[in-house]
Chain A
Amino acid sequence: MHYYHRKKVRICMWVFIVTAAALLIWLIFLMIPQSGYYEQRANDLHERERTIKAARGRIFDRNGVILADNQSVCTITVIHNQITDPEKVIKVLSQELDLDEETVRKRVEKVSSIERILSNVPKALGDRIRSYKLDGVNVDEDYSRYYPYGTLASKVLGFTGSDNQGIIGLEVKYDQYLQGTEGLILTTTDVRGLEVDNTAEKRVDPVDGLDLYTSIDYNIQAYAQQVADRMLEQKEAKGVSIILMDPQNGEIYAMVNAPEFDLNEPYTFTAAVTADENLAQLSDNDKLNQMWRNTSINDTYEPGSTFKIITATAALEEQVVSLNDTFVCPGFRVVKDRRIRCHKTAGHGTETFLQGFMNSCNPVFMDVGARVGIDGLYKYFNNLGLFEKTGVDLPGESSSIMHDINNVGEVELATISFGQSFQITPLQLLRAVSAVINGGTLVTPHFGVKAASADLTQVEVFDYETKASGLSPATCETLKMMLEKVVAEGTGNKAYIEGYRIGGKTATSQKLPRNSGKYIASFLGFSPADDPKVIGLIFIDEPVGTYYGGTIAAPVMKEIFENVLPYLNIEKTAEAAEWET
């Protein structure tokens, strides 16, 4: 026997060993440096993400009353291959959920990994379905937005869509705070997408949204809204808006835009919208947009006589007039070729500037406006923020509509002086007057005070810009005195409350076109007159019957102040006005 074959067998063995070594090195390469890469790719393939909704932040009023909350609702789903008794599942689900049996049958019998039967099911009903313990039927809890007070401040708070996203109002503006971050459940599935038992779930917890603390006072808002609703009905008005604000810092206590809508049913037309003939032609979508509109900031109007505060401020600051300067009102003034009437057609006769202000006399203001001139007026408009948005923390704020300074002739100047021929938003007026009565500081009207996590470990306080308007304290003091006199003795006397020092100004604005016979009656008031803590604007759109601001708007402000001033701990003062004049 020969033995060379032994050497050859050893050669073969070496070839095998070398091959094995090469494979082992390759494996080491795959399983150590490349391991992470392949593991990631494999996990991407195996894991199915299920999101966990983050609870949306609540919205509080200034005293901790919850204005927007979350409620638990359930989503009912079926998993086809886990169902053991399909007939019972179909019967129970169609009965309990009040669904057509055919619809349920179709979904139950559909071969899919998961099929949704119904979402937004009340929690109690979800619990009852769970108690049947049906195989393959899942009841998942979920959140939905809930507004405990329905219509309260609907146009301010706003509401959210099904995707937890704000649609209008504060819900939009503070969406990034309220939303939070969705969590994730990563489950391992087989190739058919079925979850595999006994594998560890990876869970990324959701981060709940921050709660929003607002300056709204539930009691004031609710009361103002009640008053507005009553006025709306009494005066058969198109709308009634009431804004109450702290003139010192711009915090808004209440903003009512009656008719309000139900935040829990934001897509259901209110009676007012259904009845409105003007809206009948519009598409449902446009109707909804009209229904959701916040008149106080989304719409502009001719402010009328309340705007005389601004003209008077400009004139006094420019020192082109003093309180005792006398004017003559024959009931009209001819400017160029136009005869512009006073509201008192018989004329006020001879009167001082202060009397003209108290009488809300148009010819006096035409004269004063002419003295100031358009450059002077526009300087103060600018300083008082009338050319800019107020910066309120609500979406969709309108800009004012002003004449181009180069196109202002004598007639335009005359009408601007008593608040006509241009448009601003009610909130812009309120902001400008606040600056006059708070000593010259232009504040930013706002609702949002702070955003904070539920446990208050994370707090973000919002800062708002304030600007010096450049008004001298003397002018501001004079204006406050003049405005108090308007209420005490002038056109605003229906807002007078015994023992309270209230300043204010009435307005009756003609709506365009001038001969339409449609008016806006408004009243702007504040108290205490010497050191204002609250400023309010009431705005009655298209009242039927009497439409004078002094007659219908001023008493409403009185009613509100009678309740709100004691509520805000503003005490009655024994003595009457003591102004240095």
Chain B
Amino acid sequence: MKRKKSLWARSGGEKRKQGKPERFFDYSLFFVVLFLVCFGLVMIYSTTAYTSSVENNGDSFYYVVRQGIFAALGLICAVIISRIDYHFFSRFAFFAYIVMLIIQALTPFIGSGAETHGQSRWIVIGPLQFQPSEISKVALILFLAYVCSRTVKSLHSLAGIGKILIMAVPMIGVVVMTNLSTAIILLGITFIILFVASDRYKPFLAIIGVCVAGMVGGLLMFPYRVGRITAWLNVETDDSAYQIRQSLYAIGSGGIFGKGLGQSIQKLDYLPEAHNDMIFGIICEELGLFGAAAVILLFIILLWRCMIIANNAPDLFGALLVVGVMTQIGIQAFINIAVATNFIPNTGITLPFISYGGTSVAILLCEIGLVLSVSRQIRLER
């Protein structure tokens, strides 16, 4: 509160005598995101033009148009959200969390396993279909940011940390049944928000230790997951490593400068999910190491801007909100790239802003709207 006052006093008192305080809007972040979305549309067009025209009677624009509509909607929402004081959303924190918890719990029963995954992850209401798990991520971020900023003093104690963890467990629990990848992201968000909110280090190191032990134990217990590990280790030969193998062919054949935009061959149905989870492979094939490095750099800039906003946020709630969004984007981006390059075993996570997926891009843009809303509450010091 002290900082807020000094910001207010300086910007309002000295420079702007009678006007409103000068507000900060993070254009760098906004344009990085805008660039990523546009780049994503270009890559989706490049990836799907051929297969789409084969599947949809010559309509090569099917995927890119759908994605474009969602991206446009998401951008409009983002701008609207960025104009609203983020404290406004705190009143929905509990409500949204409970509602999403119920929806997630019901998804395995009312949802449908659209597209390729086979697991029920979609909810269809009339012409509208969406993945509730994308919204659950926002709900969790909002909920945790709110709760943690309220109970920040108790987070010094293990009991306080445990209490928050227990509150997050139901959401992670219901999601893990249908979607392991999303559960990992939710777990990561919970962990990082708690870590940032608490002034302790050791309990979190202990949690990491427990998680690693749990993962090893889980791998030993569930043969299905072990299958992923053997596929990961024997990517050249294992039957179930087909997708990753194709991704590696795409990445490797890109070389330093790539084959040029639109020149990918692997996208001709050789690489399954080329426009979706595996779009990074096509980026590498067409734009080469330089394109791939540029994409990674863009994500680092995006995360860095988030860090700046979080560390200048007027209060802890705002900071934690931004940290949650930052964590989600960071984890998704790097897990996606790590999977595509066979750095880690396969798990289906999309590349934020770039992969095909209407719900995902729209909700991610709304989250950026939230971050921008926090940035607008920063009072500039002169």
Contacts of B195 in A (CB 8 A): 8, 12
Q: What chain B residues lie within 8 Å of A46 (beta carbons)? A: 265, 268, 270
Q: Measured between C-beta atoms, what is the minimum distance from B3 to chain A in Å?
A: 6
Complex interface bits, A26-53 against B, C-beta within 8 A gives 1, otherwise 0: 1110111011111101110110000000
B300 touches which of A17, A28, A43 (Cβ 8 Å): A17
Any chain B CB within 8 A of the CB of A9? Answer: yes
Nearest opposing residue in chain A for B259, CB measure: A39
The interface bits of chain B over 244-278 (1 if a CB of A lies within 8 angstroms of the residue's CB, else 0) are 00001111111110000000011011100000000
A13 at interface by CB-CB < 8 Å: yes
Contact assessment for B341 and A27 in the assembled complex, using a CB-CB cutoff below 8 Å: yes
Q: Mark A1-26 against chain B: 1 for CB-CB distance below 8 A, else 0.
A: 11011101110110011011011101
B319 lies within 8 A of chain A by Cβ: yes
**Residue numbers in A under 8 Å from B311 (CB-CB):** 5-6, 9-10
Q: Which residues of A contact B288 (CB under 8 A)?
A: 31
CB-contact partner of B251 in A8, A27, A189, A199, under 8 A:
A27
Chain B: minimal CB distance from A348 (Å): 90
Q: Mark B304-333, 1 if CB is under 8 A from A, else 0.
A: 100100110001100110010011001000
A188 and B265 form a contact (CB under 8 A): yes
Question: A5 to B250, alpha carbons, bound, how many Å?
Answer: 41
A191 within 8 A of B: yes
How many whole Å from A553's CB to the nearest CB in chain B?
A: 72
User: Given A1-B315, A8-B195, do A39 and B253 touch, yes or no (CB 8 Å)?
Assistant: yes
Interface residues on B, range: 35 or more
Instruction: Name A1's contact: one of B1, B248, B293, B320 (CB within 8 Å).
Output: B1
Residues of chain A in range 198-234 having any CB-CB distance to chain B below 8 Å: 199
A46: nearest chain-B partner, CB-CB? B265
* Nearest Cβ on chain A to B25's Cβ, whole angstroms: 20
With A1-B316, A190-B50 as contacts: A24 and B296 at CB distance below 8 Å = yes
Most buried by B among A9, A27, A28: A9
Q: Does B292 sit at the interface, judged by CB under 8 A? A: yes
How many A residues are at the interface, by size bracket? 35 or more
What CA separation (Å) do A554 and B239 show in the bound complex?
80
How far apart are A350's CB and chain B's nearest CB, in angstroms?
A: 96
Whether the Cβ atoms of B250 and A42 lie closer than 8 Å is yes
- Are A27 and B289 in touch, CB under 8 angstroms? yes
Partner of B289, one of A10, A31, A36: A31
CB neighbours of A1 from chain B (8 A): 1-4, 315-316
Q: Give the residue name and chain of the B residue nearest to A37 (CB).
A: B252
Check A12–B316 contact: CB distance below 8 A.
Answer: no
> In the complex, A199→B50 CA distance in Å?
13
Residues from chain A with Cβ under 8 Å of B199 in the complex: 2, 4
Which residues of the other chain, A, contact B320 by a CB distance below 8 angstroms?
A: 5
With most chain A CB atoms within 10 A of its CB, the pick from B199, B265, B327 is B265
B123 contacts the other chain (Cβ, under 8 Å)?
A: no
Q: Name B293's closest neighbour in chain A (CB-CB).
A: A24
Find out whether the CB atom of A42 lies under 8 angstroms from the CB atom of B266: yes
How far does the Cβ of B36 sit from chain A's closest Cβ, in whole Å?
15
**Would you give the shortest CB distance from A397 to chain B, in whole angstroms?**
53
Within 8 A of B (CB), among A234-271: none
Contacts A23-B334, A31-B254, A38-B249 given; does A2 touch B152 at CB 8 Å: yes
In the complex, the chain B residue whose C-beta lies closest to that of A43 is B253
Any B CB within 8 A of the CB of A192: yes
Cα distance A20–B304 when bound, in Å? Answer: 12
Q: Does B197 contact A (CB under 8 A)?
A: yes
Asked if A191 contacts B270 (CB within 8 A), the reply is yes
Whether A196 sits at the interface, judged by CB under 8 Å, is yes
Q: Contacts of B327 on A, CB cut-off 8 Å?
A: 12
Indicate if the CB atoms of A192 and B269 lie closer than 8 Å. yes
Beyond A31-B289, A34-B252, A35-B253, is A26–B341 a contact (Cβ under 8 Å)? yes
B residues in contact with A2, CB < 8 Å: 152, 199, 316
The interface centre, meaning the residue of B2, B250, B252 with most chain A CB atoms within 10 A of its CB, is B252
A22 shortest CB reach to chain B, Å: 8
In the complex the two chains form, what is the Cα distance from A14 to B307 in whole Å?
Answer: 11
Q: A27-B293, A31-B289 are in contact. List 9 more A-B contacts (CB 8 A).
A: A1-B1, A9-B323, A10-B307, A17-B300, A26-B341, A31-B252, A34-B252, A42-B250, A190-B50
Q: Enumerate chain A interface residues (CB-CB to B < 8 A).
A: 1-2, 4-6, 8-10, 12-13, 16-17, 19-20, 22-24, 26-28, 30-32, 34-39, 41-43, 45-46, 188-192, 196, 199
What are 15 A-B pairs with beta-carbon distances under 8 A?
A: A1-B4, A5-B319, A9-B311, A12-B196, A12-B326, A12-B330, A16-B334, A20-B299, A23-B338, A23-B343, A26-B341, A42-B265, A190-B270, A196-B265, A196-B268
